[in-house]
Structure 1
Amino acid sequence: MTSDGALLTTYDAVLLDLDGTVYHGPRPIPGVAEILRGLRERGTAVRFVTNNASRAPGDVAGQLRGMDIAAEADEVSTSAQAAAKVLGERLQPNDKVLGVGAPALMDEVTAAGLEPVREMGDDVVAVVQGHSPETGWRNLAEAALAIRAGALWVACNVDATLPTERGLLPGNGSMVAALRHATGAEPVVAGKPAAPLFHTAAESAGATNALVVGDRLDTDIAGAVTAGLDALVVLTGVDTPASLIAAAPAERPRYLAADLGGLTEDADDLLIGPRKDWQVRLDGDALVAKGGGDAFGLLRALCHAAWESGVTDVRAEDETTRRALADLGLTEAR
């Protein structure tokens, strides 16, 4: 049962990362479908926010429905949409934009009232670059000519790698790096960890107080911080208790939960900060903790102390704390 103080009641939209937050590869994370159903029943808008610029929103929604997760195309916000919005705000209607990317990216450029092209010409005023497995030297060469001629350059994202079932493969950021090296120019970035994607997602939901939820500090949480939005980090994906304790200021969330189920918990319980059940003190070059209660409560208290002091080494003062640290993977159980 959701309490009146639950986190989901505090915000009018939830902007969700996908891989590591909603699903793992082809499998949904247990309980996600029910949590999202509860959000919608309360009138909270849901947006699935992805850096993937190669797939249309309808395709992403179809993938989610295939996992029994309710989703509509208009609930999906992609970095291609964010890039097209950036272009639309800076260019004139019908301006020509040289596209390096998949057809889905070209469709978003067209939807923004611009004309996508694939080759350099005197009338090309911008370059937009998103991931496509078909991108080759010729595509990069055309883009390099346009960028060197002064065209506005917008990158959908700068993810160095792309997770696949075979492992990590070169992502759009690797192709962006090639153009950066060839031209000496820097692109405007639309996707995570830059702000435009989150602003586009929040605006599409008509939200005035949106919450970002994700598993990665360097993309999801950093993007939320840059966009001026509160963030909930979940530990179902990339980041760990150890990396949270050591998080840089630009990558620090407001809330912390084990998984998306945290949306139904009391907001005050999820805040990163001191906890009544746990005491953390600075002792030389270590944080010394003691107390009892939920291990995630201890982690919230440790993050607060580490971020305040800059000290990330942790020690337990009693057996209960030692076991809680072991549960969090911060020490080895004896």
Structure 2
Amino acid sequence: MTSPLIDDYDAALFDLDGVVYLGPQPVEGASEGIAALRERGVHVGFVTNNAARTPQHVVDHLVQLGIPADVADVVTSAQAVARLMADELPEGSLVLVTGTAALAAELTAVGLTTTQNWRDEPVAVVQGYDPDMTQARLDGACFAIQRGARWYASNTDATRPTDQGLVPGAGSQVASVRVAVEIDPVVAGKPCAPLMHETVTRLGAGRPIFVGDRLDTDIEGANGVDMESLFVFTGAHGKADLAGADVHHRPTHIGHDLRALLAPARTLTTGSDSATCGHITARVTNGRVHLDQPGTTPDEQLDALWAVLALVWEGADGTEALAALDLIP
């Protein structure tokens, strides 16, 4: 019997929004999948670009959803950006926090001083997602940056997945400041390396796999630090995004949800104009990809998709083949 995908790794690192939960609701199978991984002795870590909540708040949310967790299991972009700033700024430096109290607390923990008033002449501005952000606070960040303060951001996710749909994320708030200051912030969160490095260091992972639902943060972030990845279809991105992905945004594996870690890895056999995964073969004819069959179950269609992607990423037109995979978002 083929061994589960996770057997090739010593740790599973999970993005949260869109992978483990969608707002207040758990992703189907997340609790059971994580419990099964822990029963196998896998080190589990939770990694989030969301700087709005403390690690303890994240833990409380996970526990409410039936997923046991400790603060040591959670790494946030607020922690990563605070560590980055502590490494680059003198101890005690005054920082304008354009984010939540959770972000401010992480800066205080690493020896920096915080303020909410740009007139205090901060040496730096740090920005993170805040659901209660006001225009006046965004204006204050602009004024401080225009007067020479260094600009840091926890992350630049344009959207956030929720149980009701996508909503604007931290990147939307960062972009509104960017328009006025015409410079780019130093970013800690995915896909930038600081959060990934902070996670590996805090969790002591030797050969981790990263599980995510976004190509432009999770998968690109993993690729940027030579970490293998599993892309899941429970959050922001889907098959069309995968088909259009460049080499930096392509995952090592795909699965419907995080429970794919407990199943065998998909294996691919390729020819000059064909690709086979499982029992399904995709072929290129006149520049277009055709399937011998699309599959009748989600797992079969994922096999078909993996075969189609192998050909699309070599330049073939997969429009018709992708449309036939009606069980995959």
TM-score scaled by structure 1? 0.86
SS of aligned partner of 1:124: coil
SS at match of 1:267: coil
- Structure-2 separation of matches of 1:309 and 1:152: 42
Residues 1:83 and 2:72 aligned together? no
Alpha-carbon distance between aligned partners in 2 of 1:92 and 1:271, rounded to the nearest angstrom: 54
User: What's 1:56 paired with?
Assistant: 54
Could you say which residue in structure 1 is the equivalent of 2:282?
A: 280
SS at match of 2:45: strand
Shift of 1:110: 0.9
Q: Which residue of 1 aligns with 2:18?
A: 20
- Aligned pairs for 1:50-199 within 5 A: 50-120=48-118, 124-164=122-162, 168-199=166-197
Deviations 1:294-317 (A, max 9, x none): 22211111111111224323459x
Secondary structure in 1 aligned to 2:12? Answer: strand
Structure 1 residue 57: Cα displacement: 0.6
Distance of 1:71 and 1:117 partners within structure 2: 32
Unaligned regions of 5+ residues in structure 1, if any?
Answer: 317-321, 330-334
User: Which has the larger displacement, 263-272 or 30-39?
Assistant: 263-272
RMSD: 2.7
Q: Structure 1, residues 125-172: CA drift from partner, whole Å, max 9, x if none?
A: 221101223332332233223212332211111223344566554432
Report the alpha carbon displacement of residue 328 of structure 1 after superposing the two structures with TM.
Answer: 4.0
CA contact (8 A) 2:161 2:235 kept: no
* Distance change (3 Å), C-alpha of 1:188 and 1:296: same
Tell me if the contact between 1:288 and 1:314 (Cα under 8 Å) persists in the aligned partners. Answer: yes
**1:128 & 1:76 partners in 2: Cα distance?**
21
TM-fit CA distance, 1:177? 1.5
Deviations 1:228-281 (A, max 9, x none): 211101122232233322323221101011211111112354999743633322
Q: Which letter maps to 1:312?
A: G
What code does the residue aligned with 1:130 have?
A: G
Please tell me the residue identity of whatever aligns with 1:305.
L
Partner of residue 302, structure 1: 308
Write the distance in 1 (CA, Å) between the matches of 2:220 and 2:239.
Answer: 17
SS at 1:308 equivalent? coil
| Match of residue 236 from structure 2 | 238
Q: Is the 8 A contact 2:78 2:103 kept in 1?
A: yes
Q: Summarize the Cα distance change of 1:173–1:225 in structure 2 as closer, same or farther, 3 Å threshold.
A: same
Task: Establish whether residue 312 from structure 1 lines up as the match of residue 314 from structure 2.
Answer: no
Over 3 Å counting, the alpha-carbon distance change for 1:146 and 1:8 in structure 2 is same
Quote the offset at 1:11 in angstroms: 1.4
Counterpart position of 1:325: 325
How far 1:186 sits from its partner (Å)?
Answer: 0.6
Secondary structure of 1:69 counterpart: coil
Tell me the distance in 2 between the aligned counterparts of 1:271 and 1:82: 40
CA contact (8 A) 1:255 1:271 kept: no
The letter for the 1-side match of 2:315 is: S
SS at the partner of 2:205? coil
CA, structure 1 residues 178+36, in 2 after alignment: closer, same or farther (shift >3 Å)?
same
What TM-score does the superposition give when structure 2 sets the normalisation length? Answer: 0.87
Contact 2:266 2:303 in 1 (8 A): no
Deviates more, 1:307-316 or 1:138-147: 307-316
Taking the aligned partners of 1:19 and 1:133, their CA distance within structure 2 comes to: 15
Cα distance in 1 for partners of 2:170, 2:254 equals 29
Could you tell me the percent identity over the aligned residues?
Answer: 40
Distance 1:255 1:84 in 2: 32
Residue 29 of structure 1 pairs with residue 27 of structure 2:
yes
User: What is the CA–CA distance in structure 2 between the aligned matches of 1:150 and 1:58, rounded to whole Å?
Assistant: 34
Cα distance change, pair 134–32 in 1 and its aligned pair in 2 (3 A)? closer
Distance 1:296 1:141, change over 3 A: closer
Indicate the larger mover: 154-163 or 84-93: 154-163
How far the C-alpha of 1:101 sits from its partner, in A, is: 0.8
Whole-angstrom CA distance in 1 between matches of 2:255 and 2:235: 12
Residue 256 of structure 1 is matched in structure 2 by 254
